[in-house]
Amino acid sequence: MVGDFLARRFSRGPDPAAVVMGLGNPGKEYENTRHNAGFWYMDRLASEHSIKFQRRNPHALTGEGNVDGLRVALAKPRTYVNLSGQAATYLLARYKVPPSSLLVVYDDIALPPGTLRLRPSGSAGGHNGVKSIIAALGTQDFPRLRIGVGNAARGADRVGHVLGRLPRSELAAVDDALGRAVELLPCLLTEGIDTAMNRFN
């Protein structure tokens, strides 16, 4: 399933070895909310590797650069989370890669704050952005990295929870997870998903 993702890791030419898309909602009012953990990761990854989001189209902001000498494309959808499939479809066509070469990064309220979970494929698990991607691509077979942001209290509104801000007590754990997630990508590209899962999950 992720064989294509791993087979492409040796590409050092102008074409990306992988496309990494972090999910989030555009707009200032959403930038610090739990649902934007994917955007937090993309900004951290881009900063670490001096990649700028320079290309803008109706579907995504994109930037290209090198991670450990391998060419990658980074993307942040310009749609709301529940329409993320539009950006995914555009990215696969733009970079001529299969779904198995698209790493999707997003928040997960089922995981404690600061937890990382890398998987080669799977269901949406209730995440509307991933539901949109699966519907648009017609497959669940794309790797994904989930960043734990903690669940809502029993009886609390889940929509309000994911669109709310992390409390100060959880910021350090999530910040640490973002740093580990940045370290994960070179491992995934060069050593494969099994090694990356064993090391970072």
pTM exceeds 0.75 for this model: yes
CA angle, residues 83, 37, 111, in degrees to nearest 5: 105
**Is 35 in the active site?**
yes
Q: Are 89 and 132 in contact (CB under 8 A)?
A: no
**CB atoms near residue 195 (< 10 Å):** 12
Options 35, 49, 59, 161, the catalytic residue: 35
Contact (CB, 8 A) for 135 and 85: yes
Q: What is the CATH number of domain 3-194?
A: 3.40.50.1470
Query: How is the beta sheet containing 116-119 ordered, strand by strand?
Result: 55-56, 60-67, 70-77, 18-22, 102-108, 144-148, 116-119
pLDDT tens digit sequence for 49-102: 999 998 888 899 999 999 988 899 999 999 999 999 999 999 999 999 999 999
Model pLDDT, residue 56: 87
For residue range 117-175, what is the model confidence (pLDDT) as tens digits? 999 999 999 899 999 999 999 999 999 999 998 766 566 556 555 666 777 777 889 99
Residue 69, judged by CB atoms within 10 A of its CB (0-12, 13-18, 19+), counts as exposed
